[in-house]
Structure 1
Amino acid sequence: MIQIAPTLDVATCRALRRTVFIEEQGVSEADEVDDLDDVAIHLLARVVGEPVGTARLLVQGDTGKIGRVCVLAQARGTGLGAALIRTALDELRRQRGVVKAKLGAQTHALGFYERLGFTATGPEYMDAGIPHRDMVLMF
Structure 2
Amino acid sequence: TGGDLTAGSLGRLAVTRQARGLGVGAALVRAIEEEAARLGLTAVDLHAQTHALGFYERLGYVAYGPEFPDAGIPHRAMRREIGAA
Same fold by TM (over 0.5)?
Answer: yes
Pairing 1:8-47 to 2, within 5 Å after superposition: none
4+ runs deviating over 2 angstroms: none
Q: Please identify the structure whose Cα radius of gyration is greater.
A: 1
TM-score w.r.t. the length of structure 1 is: 0.55
Q: Does 1:112 align with 2:55?
A: yes
CA RMSD of aligned residues (A): 1.0
Structure ranking higher in strand proportion: 1
* In 2: Cα distance, 1:76 partner to 1:137 partner: 22
**Per-residue deviation, residues 94-137 of structure 1 (Å, max 9, x unmatched):** 113x1111000000000100000000000000001110000001
TM-score w.r.t. the length of structure 2 is: 0.87
Q: Secondary structure at the match of 1:70?
A: coil
Uncovered stretches (5+) of structure 2, i.e. residues with no partner:
none
Could you tell me the percent identity over the aligned residues?
53
Q: Which of 65, 75, 86 is the aligned partner of 2:19?
A: 75
The residue type paired with residue 69 of structure 1 is L
Count how many residue pairs are aligned between Structure 1 and Structure 2.
79
The residue type paired with residue 12 of structure 2 is R
